[in-house]
A and B are shown apart, each in its own frame.
Chain A
Amino acid sequence: MCGCPIISTLTEEPIVELNDVGVKYPGNIQALEHITLKISKGNFVGLIGPNGAGKSTLLSVILGIVKPTTGYVRLFGKPISPQSLRKIGYVPQEPYSKGSNFPASVYETVLMGRIPYSRPFPWFGREDHRKVEEALKRLDIEDLKNRKIGELSGGQTQRVFTAKALVGEPKMLIFDEPTSGVDSEAKKEFYSILEQLNRDFGITTILSIHDLGVVTKLARTIICINRTLYFDGLTTGFNSNVILPKVYNFAVEVIKHGDHP
């Protein structure tokens, strides 16, 4: 999967740039320390690390949800702004909690992805609706559009929120452990959609995930963190036997058994 164009895409101007980023949470908890990295256009990045390694914090920093205590972040060559955030589609770990019982239909949920690009007042334009239909089709969930989101399975929910992220025509997609609670068949299909989006539309993708098997199969480069950066480079150059024992503190066996089906 890692063909020749990698080198050329990797030399392009970075979409995400982190310089010596550190995050300290209240209570003196150092979540991230000295993270310096770049993500270039069109790349498919696998973000790995143990539980509590700061993967979600790192994504939150890129999304401007958490402000770094030290260092800085640049998106598309500029400091984070509402304009730059609009170019990013984000699918959180638990995009919708069933307990919230929010009364949205699938169509409405996907349409919400258009909100940052549309005018005030309750109406959406023809263009907005067209993009929603397109995204529903691409993720093969047209038949679900009138369902309430609370009634969907884990895999269906994940597709709905990926469609919602897509309608903003993002330059970059960020997934935070998207397949927790999704059965293995649905996982496979979901990953092949991500692969397609990256290949056909050149959408830069960051996928935070536990499953090392999936990462080595999908990602062109790997970022491995546990509070600090342990690896940032081509998947082909990722020597799991050397790096993982350091990062996971000898918990490697467990991770390896969880390989992609």
Chain B
Amino acid sequence: MILLDRVTKTYGKVATPALDRISLHVEPKEFVIVVGQSGAGKTTLLRLLTREEKPSSGKIIVGGIDYDKLKDREIPLLRRKIGVVFQDFKLLPNRTVFENVAFALEIVGATNNEIKATVPKVLEIVNLRGKERRLPVELSGGERQRVAIARAIVRQPKILIADEPTGNLDPKHAWDIIRVLEKINRYGTTVLLTTHNQEIVNKLKRRVVTIQHGQIASDRAGAQYKV
């Protein structure tokens, strides 16, 4: 589902690359946790997958799409196939919960009826029923993060990328988020999660990829957090 082959990313003329010959293969429906210290290159890795950045060298293939052959006008189509949950949520502040989730569908030309039918179902999955008309500022951090997840999954992507979704949350809310991600994974979505949270990594017992200084330090199934 996700294939990286010796991917290197260097910013500007800095001598040490942000990512150094990373090779990674993620199967469909897998749940992979990427750990590593700040600045290790986790976010760069995710930004390469969403084609916010272009690799300096190496090959990236996601869902059968070879990024080398991707034209600029095809980038939006790629992004529609990948759900992304951002560290800082990236919700539209002047739109309600419902509108924020609907926004992802409007972009791809869904009809109003489709939107009315789909959005409540997704809000149900992330336990936000009843808060459709709230604005992001009226929500707690955990609730905002769940809106972001709802928006990421509303188009039923095959891949969900979550960048530190629990970063700003207390433990209880962090676990709410992780449970939602597990639920989505059970429905058949490949999940790529980056986190700092040792407890979550240890309890989830999933495949853990550790990145250090831009390189993959370890890649083991059911592994423990170790940096």
Partners in one complex: no
